[in-house]
Amino acid sequence: MSTRPRIEFDERGWCNACQWMEEKPKLNWDERQDELKRILDKYRSKTGGFDCVVPVSGGKDGSYVAYNLKNKHGMLPLTVTVRPPLSLEVGNRNLELFIEKGYDHVLVSPNSEIMREINKAGFVEMGSPYFGWLVSIFSTVIRVALAHNISLIFYGEDGEIEYGGSTENKNVSLFGLEYMKRAYFEGGYEKVMDKIPYTDQELYYWRFPSKSDIQGRELFLTHWGYFEAWDPYRNYLVGKEHYGLSESEESSSGTFTNFAQTDQAFYALHTYLMYLKFGFGRATQDAGIEIRRGAMTRMQALNLVRVYDGHYPEEFIDTYLEYYRMTLEEFDAVLDRWANKDLFEKCDGRWEPTFVLS
């Protein structure tokens, strides 16, 4: 959708994501694999410690990255999970299955009350319902890496490159804190954190290390998707084969798939807000991925999007209200604040699209 932040279109009307789909088969992936080997050799521990950090949630992508680093490249990864605020049973079970296959693992549970306040502030101020957890999967993971004297951190894909955002890092393996704050946090890090009434000491897991904290040390943050063509469904099949990862019994809220983002209940609200703000929801997002990897036609995708997109996460509303400590009226007022009035109108208490997909 043209409403997606940082999206661009070429003269054909192709967006960044489809341009990237077109470029990927033509890339010299051998060169990128050679670059990967140089990076791995540079950062392998010389003192018998861990070689790198891989954030994992029990899902397909972190499991896939960890599998490749350990089994194909002989690295010893330290896997790290930041406890999500509203975890789901299928995600918890998948994480246990992954760890049982022989991985060193650190589970970090940042102060739940502070997490709640940051998530609520993010929901209200940014329309981002798990903002505190989103920040922590970067800030906390970096803290853990520094505590273990590890310089190399591998995330999965760069969503900006894969799904139609900024292309500034398309040909750069390293990404930094400023890019992270600008793109992943929508430039709202200071806006939200300035509203949180805790000391920097109490906010340790949400504050990024200062220059003095890392003076004389090196941090290399990168995405596995830079070195190998990213394919979420392939990742799922590898995770299922090697770790027994399971999917939800029913399709996930707001989409036709059941094998992705199964770790927490907040993702359903995240994608519903995405729909209200930009006019596309989780089904559009998933259908775009399937089209670009050649597994679905546009007409098939269009039919699925018409059925699933824009689902109001009724099944989780009571859970959200209890977590945020809000009334339904207060909760709906936040949704109203973020609904794009150029794309939606409110009918009988629900936001309905004024546009037609064709």
Terminal Cα distance for the chain, rounded: 13
Q: Is 179 exposed, middle or buried (0-12, 13-18, 19+ CB in 10 A)?
A: middle
What pLDDT score does 261 carry? 77
Cβ-based neighbour number of residue 200 at 10 Å: 10
Biggest distance spanned by C-alpha atoms of the chain:
64
Residue 191 sits at the vertex; the CA angle it makes with 187 and 195, to the nearest 5 degrees, is 155
Digit-by-digit pLDDT tens for the chain (358 residues) are 899 999 999 999 999 999 999 999 999 999 999 999 999 999 999 989 999 999 999 889 999 999 999 999 999 999 999 999 999 999 999 999 999 999 999 999 999 999 999 999 999 999 999 999 999 999 999 999 999 999 999 999 999 999 999 999 999 999 988 898 888 999 999 999 999 999 999 999 999 998 878 877 889 999 999 999 999 999 999 999 999 999 888 888 889 997 877 889 999 999 999 999 999 999 999 999 999 999 999 999 999 999 999 999 999 999 999 999 999 999 999 999 999 999 999 999 999 999 998 8
What distances in angstroms separate CA 106 from CA 53, 95, 187, 224, 244, one per listed residue?
10, 12, 29, 20, 21
What pLDDT score does 253 carry? 87
- Domain boundaries defined on the chain: 16-226, 251-353
What distances in angstroms separate CA 251 from CA 86, 138, 248, 262, one per listed residue?
18, 28, 7, 10
Beta strand residue intervals within 100-236, DSSP E: 104-108, 152-155, 174-175, 220-223
CA distance 90 to 238: 17
Which CATH class for the 16-226 domain?
alpha beta
What pLDDT score does 358 carry? 85
CA distance 262 to 246: 9
What pLDDT score does 151 carry? 95
Beta strand residue intervals within the chain, DSSP E: 52-55, 77-82, 104-108, 152-155, 174-175, 220-223, 344-347, 350-353
What pLDDT score does 251 carry? 85
What pLDDT score does 345 carry? 97
Q: What is the pTM of this model?
A: 0.94
